[in-house]
Structure 1
Amino acid sequence: MLETSARLLRLRFDYRAHDGSESRRETEPHRLVHTGVRWYLVAWDTGRADRRNFRVDRMSLRPPAGPRFTPRQPPEQDVRDFVSWEVALGRYRYQARFTVQAPAHVVAEHIAPTSGLVEPLDEHSCTLRAGSNSLNGLAVYVSLLGHDFTVHEPPELVEHVRLMAGRLRAATPTPD
């Protein structure tokens, strides 16, 4: 439980988004998280009235610090899971869900936390969630894992994989 007497300073910064656009932000910082590749700030964005994460290398601090604030309750999910979901899925046009016929620990060895989320289903299979702006990218990504898989969503990806499978079958001559 957060102590209500705790008061922290808001953090103000200029931020360059993934698409190159720039904005000014005022946040109530919660925690820094390292994904294994980059650092992210998890914070309450006061201008958007929502919890967000920000790549630290895209931030330019704007002194002085903002007014004091009382910390909010952290997200219900683990903060690392929140950042992983946002980075691996949240910003992409397509958010896919697959069942992979391999144990979660085996699949997780090939999936960075910034590329996808792996959840065990049982000792022989797992769910993989990944995002991309390209249906081809998602189809190839999961295919390269080297395990049988089923595509569940989005519907566009299910149809796209059906079409790709037909093309691949047609590209392979059948033995006489």
Structure 2
Amino acid sequence: MTSDMTARMLRLLSLLQTRREWSGADLAERLDVTVRTVRRDIDRLRELGYPVDSARGHAGGYRLTSGTDLPPLLLDDDEAVAIAVALRTAAGGLTGIEETALRALAKLEQVLPRRLRGQVTALQTSLAGITWEERRPRADPALLAVLAVACRDHEIITFDYTTRHGTATRRRVEPCHLVDSGGLWYLLAHDIDKNDWRLFRLDRTTGATPTGRRVPPRPVPGDDPAAFVAGRLSAAPTRYRAVATVHAPAERIRARTRGLATRLKPIDDHTCRVDASDDYLPRIAQTLAGLDADYTLDADPEVIDHLRHAAHRTLHATNGPLTDPDGRPPDGR
């Protein structure tokens, strides 16, 4: 009897951790008990230190709230392994979180069962990462946390935002989703003043302040936030235009490159178009070099000049004229 009650309370705690709010009836149905039993189990969790809040009435329910101390979290085996491995690599796109992640990992590994410790060790010794020189700014974990809570609670938030042209403005938005795109974090939100969907780069966002005002969830056009963001990014204006008509199938180019998403469009079975436009000239050159296929280029003069200078530097470094694979100069002489 005691083991049944313990298992039921652990299941109850697990449910409370997966959703912001549960009605008593929903919990009773999930646990296959009465609503009265749910109330007693909630009281037992409170006695153990879990801050469970409740609201009476038709729309009432139960939810875990923040307390003075963080109570124990209930994790199944897969969740524990996933968190332990993720903590090892948590600093990949963030800054200022490395030491905190290692402290959390040490605490978790102390309580991991022996059977899971072996899995975590195997994964950690099999994985390796390479740290490259960062050209893009890294996201602030504190800002990410504030925006994530606002997205979850559908709470209106204000912040200072600097546009790509350097103009600073104060924004008031309904946050929807956080999206990571190639190392850059974006907030997808509905701008209240402009009455339209907007994307905000987190490295240009400061002073995020929750207003305390919650609104009903606003559906994203197309019901796919990632696809919506990808479409907006591909259509966003860039400083330099560079569009390549590539003489290779789109599937081949997509397999050889990463991060092109909606910027790659098939023309026919043997040709595709790649929009390599960007604010950063070396990144355009990198994208074009990664195509590994012949192409014709429609680009701004600044792009052409940069590519020509880069080609001349490469030729100079080889200490000889450029030749084709048969050893002949490119003009065929």
Return the TM-score normalized by structure 1.
0.63
The residue type paired with residue 110 of structure 1 is T
1:44 aligns with 2:190: yes
Q: Map Cα deviations across residues 78-113 of structure 1 (whole Å, 9 max, x no partner).
A: 432332344344131555554322232432332434
The one-letter code matched in structure 2 to 1:103 is P
Partner of 1:18: 164
Correspondences of 1:110-121 after superposition (within 5 Å): 110-113=257-260, 117-121=263-267
- For residues 121 and 175 of structure 1, do their structure 2 counterparts lie closer, same or farther at Cα, with a shift above 3 Å needed? closer
**1:14 CA drift (Å):** 1.2
What TM-score, normalized to structure 2? 0.38
Match of 1:27 among 173, 176, 189: 173
Cα 1:62–1:40 change in 2 (3 A) is closer
Query: Which residue number in structure 2 is paired with residue 168 of structure 1?
Result: none
Give structure 2 stretches of 5+ with no counterpart: 1-152, 309-321, 323-328
Tell whether the 8 Å contact from 1:27 to 1:44 is kept in structure 2 after alignment.
yes
Flag the structure with more relative contact order, 1 or 2, with Cα contacts below 8 A and sequence separation at least 6.
1
Shift of 1:125: 2.9
Q: What residue identity is the alignment partner of 1:42?
A: L
Q: CA RMSD in A?
A: 3.8
SS at match of 1:42: strand
Within a 5 Å distance, the mapping from 1:70-81 to structure 2 comes to 70-76=216-222, 78-81=224-227
Q: Secondary structure at the match of 1:131?
A: coil
Partner Cα separation in structure 1 for residue 272 and residue 253 of structure 2: 8
Q: Give yes or no for the alignment of 1:102 onto 2:277.
A: no
Distance 1:106 1:77, change over 3 A: farther
Q: After superposing the two structures, state which structure 1 stretch, 41-50 or 62-71, moved more.
A: 62-71
Alpha-carbon distance in structure 2 between the residues aligned to 1:53 and 1:40: 6
C-alpha offsets along residues 109-167 of structure 1, whole Å, 9 cap, x if unaligned? 324348x71234455332322324699x868954663323355x78x78xx8xxx9xxx
Contact 1:39 1:56 (C-alpha < 8 Å) held by counterparts: yes
Does the CA-based 8 Å contact 1:117-1:129 persist in structure 2? yes
Query: Secondary structure in 1 aligned to 2:211?
Result: coil
Q: Name which of 203, 225, 242 aligns with 1:57.
A: 203
Matched, 1:130 2:265: no
Change (3 A) 1:38 1:147: same
Q: Which moved more, 1:140-149 or 1:13-22?
A: 140-149
* Bigger share in helix: 2
Report the equivalent of 1:87: 233
1:52 deviates by: 1.0
Q: Which moved more, 1:93-102 or 1:55-64?
A: 93-102
How many correspondences in the alignment? 158
Between the aligned partners of 1:125 and 1:175, the Cα distance in structure 2 is 25
CA contact 2:222–2:228 (8 Å) conserved in 1 = no
Secondary structure at 2:229's aligned position in 1? helix
Quick check: which has more Rg, 1 or 2? 2
Secondary structure at the counterpart of residue 80 of structure 1 = helix
- SS of the residue aligned with 2:253? helix
Task: State the percentage of identical aligned residues.
Answer: 32
Q: State the 1:57 CA deviation.
A: 2.9
1:137-152 alignment runs, 5 A limit: 142=288, 145-150=291-296
Give how far 1:22 is off: 1.8
More strand by share: 1
Residue type of the alignment partner of 2:292? G
1:47-80 CA-to-partner distances (Å, cap 9, x unmatched) read 2222111112322244342533233331238432
